[in-house]
């Protein structure tokens, strides 16, 4: 689909790709995330998706099923997905899209059984079979909950839920300088901003930060799974250098690394963090840079260790040590990641019951 949208019409890769897709049950057998993307561009019907109801964000936060209690990556990826599902947004149906509808399915597009496609997944993509409980839950959502939510006057909740989701997505954009926590929520969130207002500042601010995820490798362009791991790797590099007798030889490098680590610390908590389900940020380090905004416990711990090692070396070689107050903030932040059972989490503490894993 990507190659066709980029203008390719006939080449060996397209032929092999199409043959593979059709032999695995056609595009109807694409996994859930793929179904979402194809629905957005008009190559799959929204009725063939399992319900990702945006109203779930309106249930009381005390309930273990509230998305604010889900792990951040799950929460932030399904946030724009639920917005797109709630909007049932479909892009322009161009001649290329009409051609792709013919190419991706073994039957005419209007004859595809979307109810069957909803639960169809190629065996190569089926990471784990759905349990009986999951089947019951999805059936109830698709057959009862979603139809009920679309009936008057209950359908008034959808507009409220979508506005609430957009507010949360704007917060995520602003607190990460439009980078997002990963390229998945970044791309989906950018589309949501465009749907909300194609001429918005939010959408325009998203565009230049696409490049944070792109990397030109020996065999072509790549999209990284994160916007980098600068803070994480530099902390380890510093620790490695400090474990040798080569500090004097690499002093200029260590001085630059020291400055980078000091500048990469997040100095304040994000405003209204609790209302948007964000963990403490003050004193932390991200995996990449301060712009990313997502504090990580182990990244903070390794950066702190690197700073303590550098503080034992002459400032003439590696620069002035970090102020004590900022080191204390880092310690406080690491301790804030401790769960009630004594374990430590990465991006945020445990927020819900492990019973959800049964689902």
The domains of the chain, with CATH numbers, are 1-217 (1.50.10.20), 230-358 (no CATH)
Instruction: Return the higher-pLDDT residue of 20 and 353.
Output: 20
Confidence at 355, pLDDT banded by 50, 70, 90 = confident
Dmax (CA) of the chain: 74
As given in the structure block, the two tokens for residue 285 are 């380090």
Task: Give this prediction's pTM.
Answer: 0.93
Query: What is residue 359's predicted lDDT score, i.e. its pLDDT?
Result: 66
Q: How many angstroms separate the CA atoms of 195 and 192, rounded?
A: 5
Query: What is residue 356's predicted lDDT score, i.e. its pLDDT?
Result: 78
Each residue of 242-280: pLDDT tens digit? 999 889 999 999 999 999 999 999 999 999 999 999 999
Each residue of 2-30: pLDDT tens digit? 999 999 888 898 999 999 999 999 999 99
Each residue of 248-258: pLDDT tens digit? 999 999 999 99
In this structure, how many other beta carbons lie within 10 angstroms of the beta carbon of residue 204? Answer: 13
- Active site positions, annotated: 298
As given in the structure block, the two tokens for residue 157 are 């909740």
Query: What is residue 131's predicted lDDT score, i.e. its pLDDT?
Result: 87
Each residue of 164-202: pLDDT tens digit? 999 999 999 999 999 999 999 999 999 999 999 999 999
Q: How many angstroms separate the CA atoms of 106 and 208, rounded?
A: 39
Q: What is the mean pLDDT of the chain?
A: 95
Average pLDDT over residues 124-136: 89
Each residue of 283-292: pLDDT tens digit? 999 999 999 9
Confidence at 128, pLDDT banded by 50, 70, 90 = confident
Q: Are 254 and 238 within 8 A, CB to CB?
A: yes
Query: What is residue 129's predicted lDDT score, i.e. its pLDDT?
Result: 87
Q: Are 288 and 227 within 8 A, CB to CB?
A: yes
């Amino acid at each position: 689909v990507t190659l066709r949208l980029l203008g390719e019409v006939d080449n060996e890769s397209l032929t092999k790709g199409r043959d593979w897709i059709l032999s695995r049950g056609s595009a109807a057998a694409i996994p859930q995330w793929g179904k979402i993307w194809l629905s957005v561009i008009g190559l799959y019907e929204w009725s063939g998706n399992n319900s990702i109801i945006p109203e779930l964000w309106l249930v009381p936060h005390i309930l273990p099923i509230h998305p604010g209690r889900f792990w951040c990556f799950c929460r932030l990826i399904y946030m724009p997905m639920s917005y797109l599902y709630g909007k049932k947004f479909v892009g322009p149906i161009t001649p290329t899209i009409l051609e792709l509808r013919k190419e991706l399915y073994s039957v005419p597009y209007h004859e595809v059984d979307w109810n069957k496609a909803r639960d169809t997944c190629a065996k190569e993509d089926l990471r784990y079979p759905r349990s009986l409980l999951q089947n019951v839950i999805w059936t109830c959502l698709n057959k009862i909950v979603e139809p009920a939510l679309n009936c008057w006057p209950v359908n008034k909740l959808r507009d409220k839920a979508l506005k609430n989701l957009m507010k949360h997505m704007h917060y995520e954009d602003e607190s990460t300088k439009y980078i997002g926590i990963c390229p998945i929520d970044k791309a989906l969130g950018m589309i949501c901003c465009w749907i909300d207002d194609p001429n918005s500042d939010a959408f325009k601010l998203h565009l230049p930060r696409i490049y944070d995820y792109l990397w030109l490798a020996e065999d072509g362009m790549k999209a990284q799974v994160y916007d980098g791991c600068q803070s994480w790797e530099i902390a380890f590099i510093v620790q490695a250098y400090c474990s040798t007798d080569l500090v004097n030889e690499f002093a200029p490098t260590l001085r630059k690394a020291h400055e980078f680590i000091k500048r990469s610390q997040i100095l304040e908590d994000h405003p209204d963090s609790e209302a948007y389900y964000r963990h403490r940020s003050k004193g932390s380090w991200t995996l990449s840079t301060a712009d990313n905004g997502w504090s990580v416990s182990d990244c903070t711990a390794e950066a702190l260790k690197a700073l303590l090692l550098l503080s034992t070396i002459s400032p003439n070689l590696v620069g002035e040590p970090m102020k004590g107050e900022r080191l204390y903030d880092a310690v406080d932040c690491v301790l804030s990641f401790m769960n009630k059972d004594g374990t430590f989490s990465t991006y945020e503490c445990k927020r819900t019951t492990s019973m959800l894993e049964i689902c």
